[in-house]
Structure 1
Amino acid sequence: MSDPFEIQAQGESEFVVRLRGDGGERESWFRLSPGLREELGLEVDDEELVRRTVRFLLGHQEVADFPDIVEIEDVVAGYPDYLDAVRG
């Protein structure tokens, strides 16, 4: 089964994610600070980190509730279980 979303790079450390859900489609921009992956100890590229973040957030909210802009640092700060989820 494929993911219910598409990711497109929009320059360095910025991605547009098009999500599909029961309420239709939603577009969110995901941003991460340069060096965040290394700071968090993650050995994945930026796109894979965005993919894991989208999957994590889909477990916590509906597509219709995704914000226009997602700062990955805010997800790290807002969800205590985030790092364990994306490292796994």
Structure 2
Amino acid sequence: MHPMIQAMINQRINQVSADELYEQAIQFNIPITRNQAARVAGRVRGKNIDLFQPAGQEKLRRIFIEELGPVLAQELDQKFKQLMAKYQ
């Protein structure tokens, strides 16, 4: 994937609002509450997480486990891997 596109995606995730995250979850049939979306967005926003590096992926995975539980975190991890495979 082109580095400029990676930078745009990382910028987006690092600036996501709770409402945006909740709406995206609904669009992709991910069962989270508004409160969970707010907690995840609050922990992600401004942290400069690089989704294209293993350390960034692990950081996001830990946030999901802590805020959403291990079962949903595993489901999100699988969806993320499928999405990334399309662009590599």
> Does the alignment reach a TM-score above 0.5?
no
TM-score (norm 2): 0.29
The structure with the largest strand share of the pair is 1
TM-score (norm 1): 0.29
